[in-house]
Amino acid sequence: MTEPIRTAHVLGGSSDIAAAVLEHLARQGLERTVLALRSPDAEPAAATPSGVQCTLLRWDAVEIDSHRVLVERAVEALGRIAVVICAVGMLAHHAGLGMGPADVDEMVRTNFAGPAAALSVVADRLVEQGSGTIVVLSSVAAARARKSNYVYGSSKAGLDTFAQGMADALVGTGVGVMIVRPGFVRSSMTEGLDPAPFATDPDVVAAAVVEALGKGRRGVVWVPPLLGPMLGVLRNAPTGLWRRIAGDR
Ligand SMILES: NC(=O)c1ccc[n+]([C@@H]2O[C@H](COP(=O)([O-])OP(=O)(O)OC[C@H]3O[C@@H](n4cnc5c(N)ncnc54)[C@H](OP(=O)(O)O)[C@@H]3O)[C@@H](O)[C@H]2O)c1
């Protein structure tokens, strides 16, 4: 058994998946959290689990100069940070051919460049304290690009690869990285989209994350787990076959 998680810092603090993770952590003794989000004034109090002391900090992932200040303020509020959850992300109803340069740039900076820059500060700070786990919400879309959302998929793949390398670099420091690769999750991000096969809910992702954290597991967590072996095969499938399987999704 690992130590109970008392403190959590969330990047992308209004995320439905992150909120579900906090709910699960609250049942296991979470005491304090810092949510970094773009619109703290708009955040409903109900989004915070009851009994957990919550600090809201205004933060935008694409404002690279803000990351150091954010992490220092999170340390001030939390003391030792047990877990950092990176849940920043944007999807569009279409994230492929026809997106303009500004849209592509925004998606890559929001899903990859911004979070990666923030995580580099987070990693330094956790190494200083000698412990902690960084949970990075990647995606099944990172495993292989599809025609309808390759901009999203490639931006998540960038973050996923960054997190893998960071995990290697952190070996021996006491800091670990968990890379979470959910399939389609019914959340604000996917509102209005037809659920993909194996669609799941934030609560299911949260349960998998918190179970893995409880076991001290690091590395990759697929949700649902079946996606791991499936993508192991599909990412190497011949291009023509993959295009037929992925279809218009
Ligand atoms: N839903 C899915 O099907 C699915 C599947 C696999 C992986 N994921 C990943 O899981 C994570 C959480 O997604 P979710 O389903 O919980 O969706 P969500 O509720 O829409 O959460 C995404 C969060 O990212 C925040 N965000 C976007 N741009 C930002 C920026 N520039 N600076 C700071 N925060 C920003 C959003 O804040 P605002 O409220 O300000 O927009 C929102 O809190 C994302 O990384 C997503 O890529 C989701």
Residue 127: the pLDDT is 98
Q: How far is Cα 245 from Cα 88, in angstroms, rounded to an integer? A: 28
Residue keyed to tokens 């786990």: 133
What atom of ligand 1 comes closest to residue 189's alpha carbon? 20
Q: How far is the CA of 110 from the centre of ligand 1 (A)?
A: 9
Cis peptide leading into residue 224 (ω within 30°): yes
Establish whether 152 is a catalytic residue: yes
Residue 126: the pLDDT is 98
Q: How far is Cα 163 from Cα 86, in angstroms, rounded to an integer? A: 11
Give yes or no for a contact between 57 and 41, defined as CB atoms under 8 angstroms apart: no
Cβ of 61 closer than 6 Å to ligand 1, yes or no, is yes
Pocket test for ligand 1, best of 14, 21, 70, 107 (most atoms within 8 A of CB): 14
Cβ of 153 closer than 6 Å to ligand 1, yes or no, is no
Q: How far is the CA of 12 from the centre of ligand 1 (A)?
A: 6
Give yes or no for a contact between 194 and 186, defined as CB atoms under 8 angstroms apart: no
Q: At what angle do helices 150-170 and 114-129 cross, to 10 degrees?
A: 20
3-state secondary structure of 145: coil
Q: How far is Cα 123 from Cα 137, in angstroms, rounded to an integer? A: 16
Q: What is the pTM of this model?
A: 0.97
List average pLDDT for each run of 10 residues in the chain, which is 249 residues long: 89 96 96 95 72 95 97 97 98 85 96 98 98 98 94 97 98 98 96 93 98 95 97 95 86
Cβ of 142 closer than 6 Å to ligand 1, yes or no, is no
CA-nearest residue for atom 40, ligand 1, is: 38
Cβ of 121 closer than 6 Å to ligand 1, yes or no, is no
Cβ of 38 closer than 6 Å to ligand 1, yes or no, is yes
Tokens for 64, please give them.
Answer: 């690279």
Give yes or no for a contact between 122 and 163, defined as CB atoms under 8 angstroms apart: no
Residue 247: the pLDDT is 80
Residue 1: the pLDDT is 57
What atom of ligand 1 comes closest to residue 62's alpha carbon? 31
Residue 161: the pLDDT is 98
Q: How far is Cα 235 from Cα 80, in angstroms, rounded to an integer? A: 39
Residue 221: the pLDDT is 98
Cβ of 120 closer than 6 Å to ligand 1, yes or no, is no
- Burial code (b: 16+ CB inside 10 Å, e: under 16) for 83-121 equals bbbbbbbebeeebeeebeeeeeebbbbbbbbbbbbbbeb
Q: How far is the CA of 72 from the centre of ligand 1 (A)?
A: 23
